[in-house]
């Protein structure tokens, strides 16, 4: 706030020298009007103009302060509005970013679940294929062993391999 230097000062004693009734003879040779003017001289010529000058200076300072306060209020409202706009934009940006992250996370979870399901299905299919191959191989081994046992004239009785003799 810029302030203008004021001229508010104290009344200097030189301003009221030879004014008023001090120093008049006991019986001044003045008319009644002149005597009344002499009594009011300090008030009218020194005090009142000095007070009026100070009042003008005070009014000027008050007007400057009011103008500065009004300008500061306007500036503060402008800054407040700008901050409010920036905060609103940041809230919107953060909300959108949060939604994007949530959407991406949901999509990644769905992809992961789908991939997990596909992998589980492949493991189950591979397990069944391996079991079928093992069963087929076991059956073929049993068949070949049985044929060889029969060809050699052997048999299995109670889990023991026995030779059969033709007598």
Query: What does the domain layout of the chain look like in residue ranges?
Result: 15-124
Q: pLDDT grade, residue 1 (50/70/90)?
A: very low
pTM confidence score: 0.47
**Over the stretch 15-69, which tens digit does the pLDDT of each residue have?**
888 898 888 898 889 999 999 999 999 999 999 999 999 999 999 999 999 999 9
The larger pLDDT score, comparing residue 2 to residue 114, is at 114
Beta bridge partners of 19: none
**Over the stretch 13-28, which tens digit does the pLDDT of each residue have?**
898 888 988 888 988 8
CA angle 95/97/99 to nearest 5° reads 70
Kindly tell me if the per-residue pLDDT of 137 is higher than 70.
yes
Kindly tell me if the per-residue pLDDT of 2 is higher than 60.
no
């Amino acid at each position: 706030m810029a302030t203008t230097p004021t001229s508010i000062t104290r009344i200097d004693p030189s301003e009221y020298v030879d004014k008023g009734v001090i120093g008049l003879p006991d019986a001044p040779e003045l008319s009644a009007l002149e005597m009344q003017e002499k009594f009011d001289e300090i008030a009218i010529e020194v005090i009142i103009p000095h007070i009026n000058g100070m009042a003008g200076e005070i009014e000027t300072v008050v007007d400057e302060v009011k103008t500065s306060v009004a300008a500061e209020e306007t500036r503060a409202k402008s800054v407040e509005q700008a901050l409010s706009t920036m905060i609103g934009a940041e809230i919107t940006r953060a909300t959108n970013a949060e939604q994007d992250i949530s959407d991406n996370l949901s999509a990644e979870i769905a992809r992961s679940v789908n991939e997990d399901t596909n992998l589980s299905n492949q493991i189950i299919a591979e397990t069944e294929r391996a079991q079928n191959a093992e069963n087929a191989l076991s059956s073929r081994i049993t068949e070949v062993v049985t044929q060889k046992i029969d060809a050699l004239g052997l048999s299995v009785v109670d889990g023991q391999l026995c030779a059969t003799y033709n007598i």
